[in-house]
Amino acid sequence: SVSASFVGSSVCQYDHLKYTKPYQQGSLFTINGTPVDRVRFCKAIRFHKAKGCIFGDSFRDDFCTFHYLLGRRFLEEKSVEDSENNEAEPEYHPVKVSLAASGFLLFCCGLCCPCFHKERKANSHEVLPKESNSVHQVSSFEMSPSSDKIPPSPFRAPPSPSRVPQSPSRYAMSPRPSRMGPLNLTMSQIAAATNNFSDINQIGEGGFGIVYKGILEDGQVVAIKRAKKEHFENLRKEFKSEVDLLSKIGHRNLVKLLGYVDKGDERLIITEYVRNGTLRDHLDGARGSILNFNQRLEIVIDVCHGLTYLHSYAERQIIHRDVKSSNILLTDSMRAKVADFGFARGGPADSNQTHILTQVKGTVGYLDPEYMRTYQLTAKSDVYSFGILLVEILTGRRPVEAKRHHDERITIRWAFDKYNQGNVFELVDPNARERVDEKILRKMFSLAFQCAAPTRKERPDMEAVGKQLWAIRSSYLRRSME
């Protein structure tokens, strides 16, 4: 936020408009604490006046005279289609202006509020606690009248009127290994496949546990997630959620579940092995090469297809809740697959339900601010995270870059400001040497900002995002052939 002596201040809808003495050099105009230029400020006043907001007498706007506006172009694009052949000045959009503020709010929540903050592992994103008691919550399955539509699994408690959680021993006493998917593995086969869970086979570590590469007797390579024993009790629900949801989906842009084991004090999830690392590794250059623009575009299209399937075509809607670059795995041919369903939830089960009320989970920086505020979860929370991911893949920057100058710490806010100043080239990942057409870049960022709008009703759904991405890709290919 900005500290200065403001002489005018007014609140309209979500926007708090303030200015210092407007006729002086260095005068300051802010919307929701974010400095904006005079033109944008005047646009906001006009917009809110048109919407019927009453500004007090002390709130002057005579500095919004015509000559200030003349010849200046407001640098926002409403949608790809709108912007294609339309050079006219788009109207002020309060949501887009307040986007930066919401990013800041997100940052504050993430960094200042201990209940939203947990150190997970070195150099990783911050991830919310697995089970937080600080947030009033109702589980979606408890809320949903048709939660029993989810096919029974050995992990799912039998229907009980009181829905009392099952005791841990119930799971521990499974009579025999629980298996699902095409693979039927015993513990000793898994131990053999991973060299007895040796460090050499370890390929990563997340909140759920350690991930190992395993080579089965027939040569098939798999990834095996082994739950950490110290978090067993807390992770039981997560393990169950991941297995239940993964077992019902099959899509080339989603990591495939091959089997699981839940026996004694072992919880293991066996999935297809995706061997070319995570998107974050590639953005960091940790895999040797730098992604070109076309690869970046194809990766986001793949992620978009995976999420579209989860939101609109799975047997029941699935909300991933942890869409982020370290959960996007890449194949050798650079196709992307969405992984890690540990936080995933079934969406509203009946059409009268607009959302589910649930505890906030996800990773700081990617979390939908509206969901954080209201605990209302919808598929649009994934859309928000996708918008953040889109900015990440274009800029190469993590959503929160704590070591940078404070103006640049929240990547979405920094990108939004630069975009509105017309400096789109300054946003592009400096490692990517290819010069991409400005119009294409603007369309990509514009789409990202739409996805990361502060409220869900302003965000497109994933299917619409896919259409926009396809249109951008065709323009990109057309232009690169010219």
Q: Does 249 bind ligand ATP (CB under 6 A)?
A: no
Annotated catalytic, 322? yes
Question: CA 315, 316, 320, 321: dihedral to nearest 10 degrees?
Answer: 180
Region of 24-32, 130-138, 339-347, 466-474 interacting with ligand ATP (CB under 6 A): 339-347
Query: Which of these, 378, 379, 397, lies nearest to 388 by C-alpha position?
Result: 397
Stretch that binds ligand ATP, among 178-186, 206-214, 378-386, 391-399 (CB under 6 A): 206-214
The residue from 262, 322, 368, 461 that is catalytic is: 322
Closest contact distance (angstroms) between CB of 204 and ligand ATP is: 2
Q: Which two three-digit tokens encode residue 374?
A: 């209201």
What is the Cα Rg of the chain in Å?
24
What are the φ/ψ torsions at residue 164 (nearest 5 degrees)? Answer: -75, 135
Nearer to ligand ATP, 94 or 207 (CB): 207
If binding is defined by CB under 6 A, does position 183 make contact with ligand ATP?
no
344 is a contact residue toward ligand ATP (CB under 6 A): no
d(CA 150, CA 157) in angstroms, rounded, equals 11
Pick one of 103, 206, 214, 348: the residue that binds ligand ATP (CB under 6 A). Answer: 206
Among residues 326, 359, 420, 468, which is the contact residue for ligand ATP, using CB under 6 A?
A: 326
Please select the residue that binds ligand ATP; options are 102, 140, 253, 327, rule is CB under 6 A.
327
Name beta bridge partners: 127: 363
| CA 83/CA 81 separation, integer angstroms | 6
Of the candidate spans 201-209, 413-421, 447-455, 472-480, the one that interacts with ligand ATP by CB under 6 A turns out to be 201-209
Instruction: Work out how close the CB of 289 gets to ligand ATP at its nearest, in angstroms, rounded to a whole number.
Output: 17
For ligand ATP, which is the closer residue by CB, 22 or 206?
206
Give the whole-angstrom CA distance, residue 206 versus residue 312. Answer: 28
Three-state DSSP state, 474: helix
Report the distance separating Cα 356 and Cα 139, nearest Å.
8
Residue (of 477, 465, 415) closest to 442 by Cα position: 415
239 is a site residue for ligand ATP (CB under 6 A): no
Which residue is nearest to ligand ATP, using beta carbons?
206
> Shortest approach of ligand ATP to residue 271 CB, angstroms?
5
**Taking CB under 6 A as the rule, does residue 207 contact ligand ATP?**
yes
Judged by CB under 6 A, which of 274, 297, 360, 391 binds ligand ATP? 274
Nearest to 10 by CA among 39, 47, 25: 47
Q: Is 240 known as a binding-site position?
A: no
Residues of span 113-142 touching ligand ATP by CB under 6 A? 120, 127
Q: Which one of residues 34, 271, 359, 385 is an interface residue with ligand ATP (CB under 6 A)?
A: 271
CB of 322 vs ligand ATP, minimal distance in Å: 6
Neighbours of 87 (CB within 10 A): 6
State how far the Cα of 214 lies from the Cα of 193, in Å rounded to an integer. Answer: 5
At 140, list the tokens.
Answer: 């979606």
3-state secondary structure of 48: helix
CA dihedral 309, 310, 314, 318 (to 10 degrees): -170
Q: Are strands 15-19 and 345-346 parallel, antiparallel or unpaired?
A: unpaired
Any contact of residue 273 with ligand ATP (CB under 6 A)?
Answer: yes
Q: What angle do CA 334, 214, 272 make, to 5 degrees?
A: 40
Cβ distance to ligand ATP smaller for residue 147 or 331: 331
Residues recognised as catalytic: 322
Q: Which positions lie near ligand ATP, rule CB under 6 A?
A: 120, 127, 203-208, 211, 223, 225, 255, 271, 273-274, 278, 322, 326-327, 329, 339-340, 342
Binding site, annotated residues: 229
